[in-house]
């Protein structure tokens, strides 16, 4: 038998039937790229099914849509701050002095057929991209899908979110309209507040004094090349890791930490995920057909001495707008220098701090639990009450800042005093996250209790039975084994103990501050106030046998 040395080619030459054309192309590629080994692991790769796993896909697809439409827009956009007098198709602007950037954006909107549609798809997709990343991140957070081995992928995703924010900001600044110019001015004011080097950074970024003639061109290269280039790299790494780690799955019958249950990539996910791209694209195209986004022709070109009311950034920048609006205007003048705390604290201290704390969370939690095992079963949020409380508090805090960022809109729409709203946000900034944390944790514990009752006493059927002696009882129906397993599959940690103060020889042990802190956090997470003990088999059997005597 010489089959071991036979190549597909020689097999064909041996007079057997010639392989189909598709296979021969694949053979050719395999001989050069080694695609068969790659396909062996991935072609029939299993993906678990859950609606929340589509959120990341929405982000991925809107990113692709942004790149496609963005390339088209570069064909018509002039990233120049050269001043011209407008004589294009939009007559209300005739004779107005404006930058070429603004004029070419008007041309895209009014002269290029379909240009407005592509512009609007680009902008809507950007808004959806950020929203999808935000919600996807929440899904990963609340289900604990960031735990080992996925911490690095969490950081990649976090970087994509932050870079997405800045790519969006540089993007909507490019048309050089009055609104976006005001946003740039805001950014310049924030840069000036940086101690010691602020004025230098500002001069270097704008090529001199604000606004200068350079920033559109510089933002353009950051927006179309630098930032998306980095994002593309991160995105590829993110997806490779998703494939490599295999997707998390929720607990259920047959689903363990050591397997993944679902449908194969070829054909089911190929069709579903591929089809979903078209669904997302189709919906965004239809939205862009019907709903105007960023009508720069109504706003006018940028002039540093003009402004419109209701000036709002795109939604994902709203929380930084809130930070800056509610911060008291603290300024310290010492030794001929000014420390602009009113701007610097919100934008160069709190803003990065909040972002970095998101990136660090997986490492903080794994330090508290001390758990170094791999986790592939996604948590139900209720089964991690402290984590869920932290996440909900963060979201509540974010929305408080969005209210602060739109305080003028709240004031005009609800006939409220802007001062009152600002003071509300200042107080809520500290109070609301705490309240939301406590409430969320209580809700989670309540849900855990309900799960426990369901396991031990069965499902409430709603059927009332009258007993012979007149008592009314509701009939509880025992759960199936699938349900029993699903509701008890989650793990529960015990709080870490610091151990004895002295070792077996009576020598004082050294307990560091970080150990004490860890023990305290662990207690908060996993003591009886942090979780409801899940029912044990003994408890279940005891009640089961008790039923007979009832």
Partner 1 sequence: MSSETGPDENVSDENLPSEQEKAHGEVTGQDNPFADPGVPPHEHRIQDIDERAAKRSERTVAFLFTLSMLATVGFIASYVAFPVDKIIYVWPLGHVSALNLSLGLTLGVALFCIGAGAVHWARTLMSDEEMVDERHPVAAEPAVREKVISDFKQGAKESALGRRKLIRNTMFGAVALVPLSGVVLLRDLGPLPEDKLRHTAWSKGKLLVNENTNQPLRPEDIAVGSLAFARPEGLDHEDEDFNNEIAKAALMLVRLEPKDIKDKRELDWSHEGIVAFSKICTHVGCPVSLYEQQTHHVLCPCHQSTFDLSDGARVLFGPAGHPLPQLNISVNKDGYLEALGDFEEPVGPAFWERG
Q: Are 362 and 151 in contact (CB under 8 A)?
A: yes
- Can you list the alpha helix ranges (DSSP code H) found in 270-350? 270-290, 296-299, 318-326, 341-344
Query: Contact with partner 1 (CB under 8 A): which of 2, 3, 310, 508?
Result: 310
- Burial grade of 219 (CB within 10 A; 0-12, 13-18, 19 or more): buried
Task: Give whichever of 258 and 469 is closer to partner 1, judged by the CB atom.
Answer: 258
Give the binding range for partner 1 (CB under 8 A) out of 20-28, 129-137, 278-286, 468-476: 278-286
**Whole-angstrom Cα distance, residue 280 to residue 275?**
9
Binding mask 417-436 for partner 1 (x = CB under 8 A): -xx--x--------------
Which residues in 323-362 contact partner 1 (CB under 8 A)? 324-331, 333, 336-340, 342-343
> Taking CB under 8 A as the criterion, which residues in 195-234 touch partner 1?
195-200, 202-212, 214
**Binding status of residue 170 toward partner 1 by CB under 8 A:** no
HSE, side-chain direction, 13 A CA sphere, residue 283 = 10
Q: Tell whether residue 255 is a contact of partner 1 (CB under 8 A).
A: yes
What minimum distance in Å lies between the beta carbon of 488 and partner 1? 4
Residues 488-517 that bind partner 1 (CB under 8 A): 488-489, 491-499, 509-511, 515
Minimum distance from residue 309 beta carbon to partner 1 (Å): 4
Closest among 336, 316, 329, 362 to 147, alpha carbons compared: 362
Closest to partner 1 by CB, 227 or 496:
496
Work out whether 32 is an interface residue with partner 1 (CB under 8 A): no
Cβ atoms of residues 50 and 57 within 8 Å: no
Q: Which of 9, 31, 34, 114 is in the footprint of partner 1 by CB under 8 A? A: 114
**Residues 6 or more apart in contact with residue 10 via CB below 8 angstroms:** none
In whole angstroms, how close is the CB of 339 to partner 1 at the nearest point? 8
158 in Cβ contact with 358 (< 8 Å): yes
Tell which one of 77, 281, 397, 437 touches partner 1 (CB under 8 A).
281
Binding mask 148-167 for partner 1 (x = CB under 8 A): -x------------------
Cα–Cα distance for residue pair 490/377, rounded to 1 Å = 8
CB of 322 to partner 1, least distance (A): 10
User: Shortest approach of partner 1 to residue 19 CB, angstroms?
Assistant: 26
> Is residue 308 a contact partner of residue 299, using CB atoms and an 8 Å limit?
yes
**What Å distances lie between residue 514 and 104, 353, 359, CA to CA?**
58, 21, 20
């Amino acid at each position: 038998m010489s089959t071991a040395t036979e190549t597909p080619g020689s097999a064909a030459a041996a007079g057997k039937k010639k392989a189909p054309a598709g296979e021969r192309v694949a053979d050719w590629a395999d001989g050069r790229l080694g695609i068969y080994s790659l396909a062996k692991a991935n072609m029939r790769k299993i993906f678990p099914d859950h609606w929340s796993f589509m959120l990341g896909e929405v982000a991925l697809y809107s990113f692709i849509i942004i790149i496609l439409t963005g390339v088209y827009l570069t064909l018509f956009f002039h990233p120049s701050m050269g001043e011209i007098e407008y004589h294009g198709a939009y007559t209300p602007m005739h004779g107005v002095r404006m930058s070429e950037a603004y004029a070419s954006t008007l041309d895209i909107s009014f002269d290029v057929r379909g240009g407005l549609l592509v512009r609007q798809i680009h902008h809507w997709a950007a808004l959806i991209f950020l929203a999808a990343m935000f919600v996807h991140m929440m899904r990963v957070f609340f289900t604990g899908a960031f735990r080992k081995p996925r911490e690095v992928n969490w950081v990649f995703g976090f970087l994509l979110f932050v870079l997405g924010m800045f790519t969006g900001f540089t993007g909507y600044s490019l048309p050089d309209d009055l609104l976006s110019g005001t946003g740039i001015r805001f950014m310049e004011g924030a840069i000036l507040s940086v101690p010691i080097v602020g004025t230098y950074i500002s001069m270097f970024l704008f090529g001199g004094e604000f606004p200068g003639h350079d920033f559109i061109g510089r933002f353009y290269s950051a927006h179309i090349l630098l930032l998306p280039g980095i994002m593309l790299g991160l995105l590829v790494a993110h997806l490779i890791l998703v494939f490599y780690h295999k997707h998390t799955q929720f607990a259920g019958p047959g689903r363990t930490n050591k397997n993944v249950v679902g449908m194969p990539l070829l054909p089911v996910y190929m069709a579903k995920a591929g089809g979903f791209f078209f669904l997302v694209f189709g919906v965004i195209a239809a939205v862009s057909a019907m709903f105007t986004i960023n009508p720069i022709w109504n706003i006018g070109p940028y002039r540093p001495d003009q402004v419109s009311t209701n000036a709002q950034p795109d939604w994902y920048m709203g929380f930084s707008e809130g930070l800056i609006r509610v911060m008291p205007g603290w300024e310290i003048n010492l030794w001929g220098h000014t420390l602009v705390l009113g701007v610097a604290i919100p934008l160069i201290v709190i803003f990065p701090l909040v972002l970095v704390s998101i990136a660090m969370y997986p490492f903080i939690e794994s330090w508290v639990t001390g758990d170094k095992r791999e986790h592939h079963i996604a948590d139900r949020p209720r089964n991690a009450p402290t984590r869920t409380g932290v996440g909900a508090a963060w979201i509540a805090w974010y929305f408080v800042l969005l209210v602060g960022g739109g305080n003028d809109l709240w004031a005009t729409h609800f006939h409220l005093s802007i001062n009152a709203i600002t003071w509300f946000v200042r107080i809520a900034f500290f109070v609301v996250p705490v309240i939301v944390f406590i409430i969320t944790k209580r809700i989670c514990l309540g849900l855990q209790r309900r799960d426990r009752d369901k396991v031990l006493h069965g499902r409430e059927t709603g059927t009332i039975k009258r007993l012979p002696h007149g008592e009314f009882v509701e009939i509880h129906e025992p759960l199936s084994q699938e349900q029993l397993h699903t509701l008890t599959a989650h793990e529960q940690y015990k709080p870490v103990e610091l151990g004895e103060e002295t070792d077996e020889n009576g020598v004082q042990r050294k307990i560091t501050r970080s150990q004490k802190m860890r023990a305290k956090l662990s207690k908060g997470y996993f003591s009886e106030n942090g979780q409801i003990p899940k029912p044990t088999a003994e408890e279940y059997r005891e009640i089961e046998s008790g039923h007979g005597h009832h």
